Amino acid sequence: MFYRAAKPFLFRLPAETAHTATKRLLRLGQGTPVEEALTARYRVDDPRLHTELFGLEFPTPVGVAAGFDKNAEIPGMLGALGFGHVEVGAVTAEGQVGNPRPRLFRLPEDRALVNRMGFNNAGADVVGPRLADTDASVPLGVNIGKSKVTPLDDAPADYRYSYEQTAAGGDYFVVNVSSPNTPGLRDLQNREHLEAIIGELLDADARPLLVKLSPDLTDGAVEDALAVVDDLDLDGVIATNTTVERPDTLRNHNRVETGGLSGAPIEERATEMVRFVAERTDVPVVGVGGVSDAAGAYAKIRAGASLVQLYTALVYEGPALARDINRGLLDLLERDGFDSVEDAVGADL
């Protein structure tokens, strides 16, 4: 009700300004009775939604994707809103301001966003201690990206530094080589670079360790990346990041902005990539891309996702989204005769 009233005002603001204001408001309530009140209102506690992965207990399969809470400022509040995990970042070794503004654009008719943020974050030296001091009720993932100033050949050491600075507060770690907004970053998805980065992180005992892939990879490139996942015994794959492609169906004028497209227009494509990955590897898959309701989350789960994440839909649906998806998942599990969400994973494979 509150978000429905506030949404017209927020949508009059530039997208990034509205996002910052929302985070500041949530931060004010973190660690206060407000957080407890939100937990009572929005959390769905049902054992059928519990998932155990990477030695971690996820109270629900629905989490917040990286990008929403880059600097680990509000993970407690996001958990209170009913999310089963929160992935912070992307965190880089060097703090960086990112690309010039404006760099975040709404496409309301398309229920989408375009962003070219450029890994703006406070840096691992700031985020690491903040994470270590966080008393979150859900698992916390740390999405790690390459600093813009770091040459590609020096990327392994750059990723390792970010991991080492955030290791004390993270529950799992994600190698992000798939953002379209850092020059040259996607080149790190090729086998040689990816093996070097992952090898460096494994040498630093980074576990559980996942890799996040782009939806713009060819089938062959995805298979090459999955070969690295299997050869180096990674713990999981996140599919997918944003896309630089623009479907012909987009209507909003912001479709012409450069950057990564997220939200409803990539939902079907992301679900198909979840299926493609799940059919080719035995490690858990985290499905991301266009999730905005229980049906969409369930489709990714049945396609092979053990967990799902979202970000864009929060902008359009507001704080009750995780609760509504979790309640809807329970209805869908009951309809299809599954005793738990874990039983539904990969049902359509």
| 290 assigned binding-site residue | yes
**Which pLDDT belongs to residue 48?**
98
**Which pLDDT belongs to residue 185?**
64
**Which pLDDT belongs to residue 236?**
98
Tell me whether residue 179 is one of the annotated catalytic residues: yes
Distance CA 221, CA 214 (A): 10
| 115 assigned binding-site residue | yes
| 119 assigned binding-site residue | yes
H runs (alpha helix) in the chain? 2-12, 15-29, 33-42, 75-80, 124-132, 155-166, 191-203, 219-231, 267-278, 294-302, 312-317, 321-336, 341-344
Distance CA 208, CA 214 (A): 20
| 51 assigned binding-site residue | no
**Which pLDDT belongs to residue 149?**
93
Q: Which residues of the chain have pLDDT under 70?
A: 1, 181, 183-186
- DSSP for 271-313 reads HHHHHHHHTT-SS-EEEESS--SHHHHHHHHHTTEEEEEESHH
| 311 assigned binding-site residue | yes
Reduced to 3 states (helix: H, G, I; strand: E, B; else coil), residue 181 is coil
| 120 assigned binding-site residue | no
**Which pLDDT belongs to residue 115?**
96
Length of the chain: 349
| 181 assigned binding-site residue | yes
Q: Which of 162, 179, 214, 306 is flagged as catalytic?
A: 179
Is 2-344 in CATH node 3.60.15.10?
no
| HSE-up (13 A, CA, CB side) for residue 156 | 14
pLDDT tens for residues 183-192? Answer: 666 677 778 8
- Amino acid letter at 95? G
| 42 assigned binding-site residue | no
Distance CA 262, CA 216 (A): 13
**Which pLDDT belongs to residue 1?**
61
Distance CA 309, CA 27 (A): 21
Distances (CA, A) of 268 to 172, 235, 285: 27, 25, 16
Assessment of whether the complete model's pTM goes beyond 0.85: yes
| 161 assigned binding-site residue | no
